[in-house]
Amino acid sequence: MSSASPRRRVLPGFGLTLGFTLLYLSLIVLVPLSTLALRTASMGWGPFWATVTSPRVLASYRLTFGASLAAAALNGVFGLVVAWVLARHRFPGQKVVDALVDLPFALPTAVAGIALTSLYSPNGWFGRPLEAMGLKVAFTPLGIVVALTFIGLPFVVRTLQPVIEDLDVEVEEAAASLGAGRRQTFAHVILPALFPAWLTGFALAFARALGEYGSVVFIAGNMPMRTEITSLLIITKLEQYDYAGATAIAVVMLVASFLLLGAINRLQSWASRRGAAA
């Protein structure tokens, strides 16, 4: 506190607001979260390792990480197109489309879950024609990818959109005046400039998908070893009062999520350094 300059302390309320902030943060977030550490510590390494590497848990990791990666990749491609169109094109109804991109943030996950399930179930609007083509979506891993794509879309679009808007058109003009075609400009000038933001959006969508529950449980089918995501497995363990097992799996997912977010933070500072250097 000694570093606070006298000038800064002209305003009142520092003790009160910081005190309240720390108290509330501790009661609502830190104390409840610390129960995870306490439970894990009381568990012992052997049982912990046995739980988090049991075949059913490993299958759920593979499914959760695989489907999340596939969904983030889909969003990486189509999210880029959507962000580009919203930033660079002008078309009627653009404001509505732009607002709609945030729908997955605003629509409760359970509603998204039942809506997607009804669309892709064997007699649904999309499910029936897809099934006629021999493609099952609902109650298969593919259905999980669909739900996670819905959830992750805004992350990619909203990370890329402002960066595309801020791109310096002069650089594109320079490339064009030096004889580059539009395709060359896009591949060698625009894409490299967008890459850090694109990777950030991809990673954010991936991180969100890892922990997703509501939109997935309805469409997944939830068969152990085949279509059971890790979040559901945690709930199943809790319902069987296997608190230790649930905690162990949760800690693994939480560590994965923290590592990912740490990487995203480094990515963002890289992106902003690049932005400042340009």
Partner 1 sequence: MRRALTEPPLVRGALLAVALVFLAIFLVMPLVAVFAQALEKGFGAYLTALREPDAWAAIRLTLLTAAIAVPMNLAFGLAASWAIAKFEFPGKGTLLTLIDLPFAVSPVISGMIFVLLFGRQGLLGPFLGAHDVKVIFAVPGIVLATVFVTFPFVARELIPVMQALGNEEEEAARVLGAGGWQIFFRVTLPNVKWGVLYGVILCNARAMGEFGAVSVVSGHIRGLTNTIPLHVEILYNEYNFQAAFAVASLLAFLALVTLLAKSVVEWRSGRAARPEAPVREAA
Q: Under rule CB under 8 A, which residues in 237-276 are in contact with partner 1?
A: 238, 241, 243, 246-247, 250, 253-254, 257-258, 261, 264-265, 268-269, 271-272
Residues 89-118 that bind partner 1 (CB under 8 A): 89, 91, 95, 97-112, 114-116, 118
Q: Which residues of 105-120 are buried (b: 16+ CB within 10 A; e: fewer)?
A: eeeebeebbebbbbbb
Minimum Å gap between C-beta 255 and partner 1 is 11
First-last CA distance in the chain: 37
Q: Which residue spans within 153-249 are E strands per DSSP?
A: none
Q: Is 125 in the site for partner 1 (CB under 8 A)?
A: yes
Nearer to partner 1, 141 or 245 (CB): 245
Q: Is 44 in the site for partner 1 (CB under 8 A)?
A: no
CA distance 208 to 257: 9
Among 137, 193, 199, 234, binds partner 1 (CB under 8 A): 234
Q: Let me know: does 214 contact 110? Beta carbons within 8 Å.
A: yes
Size of interface with partner 1, in residues (CB under 8 A): 114
CA distance 179 to 30: 58
Q: Is 154 in the site for partner 1 (CB under 8 A)?
A: yes
Site string for partner 1, 69-88 (x = CB under 8 A): ---------x--xx-xxx-x
Non-local CB neighbours of 104 within 8 Å, separated by 6+ positions: 112, 150, 151, 152, 153, 154
Minimum Å gap between C-beta 49 and partner 1 is 20
Say how far residue 239 (Cα) sits from the centre of its chain. Answer: 27
Residues 183-212 that bind partner 1 (CB under 8 A): 185, 201, 204, 207-208, 210-212
